[in-house]
Amino acid sequence: MPITKATFTDIPELNILINSAYRGEESKKGWTTETDLIGGIRIDEDMLREYFSNEAITILKYTDDNSRITGSVYLEVKGDKLYLGMFSVSPVLQGKGVGRALLEEAELIAKQLNCHTITMTVIRSRTELISWYERRGYAFTGEIQPFHDHGRFGEPKQHIELIVLEKKI
């Protein structure tokens, strides 16, 4: 399987991939775009550098036959849970198994780290994305969180709430 841990040298390519999966015109080629909900960028290289300097965080990358990064996922150990976020697949490759493979690898890593639950937040209005996670065993915990208001992850174009999904591993 072409999934490995990303490294510091992957930052420029990860930055492009993640932003193209979430925001801008490129993101509209896939079904996971947030561009109509949130303006600005999803991440920058400085934030990625911060992530790589944190021992609790791992970023997985999925590479194609030409060694291009076509998918990635952020994993952070938080107590006995593994937080999964910034799940990104190239918009032109969505629906081709990249995301499913990354999710399965994240679940294996959770077990290796002795984390028995994977948790994540998803924009409440993203019903198609929530359904995708539910089909893979994730369930709404009942917890709702506000969208980050510090602007670091973009500027909301409307009121946004995040729901917490979890899966026991």
Q: What is the DSSP string of 35-81?
A: TTTEES-S--HHHHHHHHT-TTEEEEEEE-TTS-EEEEEEEEEETTE
Give the number of domains in the chain: 1
Per-residue pLDDT at 23 exceeds 90 = no
Helix (H) or strand (E) holding 88: strand 81-89
The pLDDT tens digits for 77-89 are 999 999 999 999 9
CATH code where residue 43 lies: 3.40.630.30
Which domain range does residue 50 map to? 3-168
| Helix/strand/coil for 141 | strand
Mean pLDDT of the chain: 89
**pTM given for the model:** 0.90
pLDDT band at residue 3, thresholds of 50, 70 and 90?
Answer: very high
Per-residue pLDDT at 41 exceeds 90 = no
Q: Which residues pair with 155 in a beta bridge?
A: 39
- Paired sense of beta strands 81-89 and 117-123, if any: parallel
The dihedrals phi and psi of 157, each to the nearest 5 degrees, come to -95, -5
Residues 57, 51: Cα–Cα separation, whole Å: 6
